[in-house]
Amino acid sequence: MNDSSSALSCHPIAFVRSPYARRIDAPHQPTVVEGTETGAVAEAIIEFTADFPAAAFRDLAGFERIWLVFVFHRSEGWKAEVRPPRGGGKRSVLATRSPHRPNAIGLSAVELIAVEGHALRVRGMDLLDGTPILDIKPYVPYADAFPDSRAGWIDTVDATQGLHSAPGPRRPRSTPRD
């Protein structure tokens, strides 16, 4: 059993350089770009910290996709239930992709375009500029793709609103919060 007083220590290995400065500018998912300013899948740079060794990421070249494990660094706490943009009523937070999570950790699959110097160029970004990256893992299709899996309440939404329907970014509030 773990001691609840022990702390888990993580530190960023990289930071995102993305066209999205504010939460309302970014898509809800990397491939859902309807409603974004350009309507296009965004490119971004993952810049490794100066002390992170290039030997740790050089063999990513050749992978088409990578997983980014990151911190929702602008999250302001969490609640057990949230109201997702597609789901109508409240849903349990762990059954959603809400950025307001118990540990504010996220996971995003992006297309790897190139390993360039001390950085990665990626496409299909949904993260904000400055997002800390904790880890990167290669996307392995035979192990990571389960296209026939059930998706709980999302399957019900798809049946009523259309397959894979999803809103674009929300419109600005009268008093914008970044």
The backbone torsions φ and ψ at residue 119, rounded to the nearest 5 degrees and listed phi first, read -155, 165
In the prediction, which pLDDT does 74 show?
Answer: 83
pLDDT value at 173 more than 80? no
pTM, full prediction: 0.78
The pLDDT tens digits for 44-95 are 999 999 999 999 999 999 999 999 999 998 888 899 998 887 667 898 998 8
In the prediction, which pLDDT does 39 show?
Answer: 58
Asked if 16 and 87 touch (Cβ cutoff 8 Å), the reply is no
Outline where the chain has alpha helix (H).
Answer: 141-144, 152-161
In the prediction, which pLDDT does 171 show?
Answer: 46
In the prediction, which pLDDT does 35 show?
Answer: 46
Cα(74)–Cα(100) distance, integer angstroms = 9
In the prediction, which pLDDT does 150 show?
Answer: 86
Cα(124)–Cα(41) distance, integer angstroms = 5
The pLDDT tens digits for 128-170 are 999 999 999 999 999 988 888 887 877 887 788 776 555 554 4
Which residue's entry shows tokens 């009268």? 174
Can you tell me the mean pLDDT for 20-27?
65
For residue 14, count CB atoms less than 10 angstroms from its CB and return exposed for 0-12, middle for 13-18, buried for 19 or more: buried
Q: Which CATH architecture has domain 14-141+150-161?
A: Beta Barrel (2.40)
Give 32 or 63, the one with higher predicted confidence.
63
pLDDT value at 178 more than 50? no
In the prediction, which pLDDT does 28 show?
Answer: 54
pLDDT value at 172 more than 60? no
pLDDT value at 177 more than 90? no
Dihedral through CA 98, CA 173, CA 166, CA 107, nearest 10? -30
Residue 126: which pLDDT band, with cuts at 50, 70 and 90? confident
Cα(172)–Cα(2) distance, integer angstroms = 43
Cα(178)–Cα(26) distance, integer angstroms = 11
DSSP string, 34-82: TTSSS-SPPEEEEEEPTTS-GGGTGGGTT-SEEEEEEE-TT-----SEE
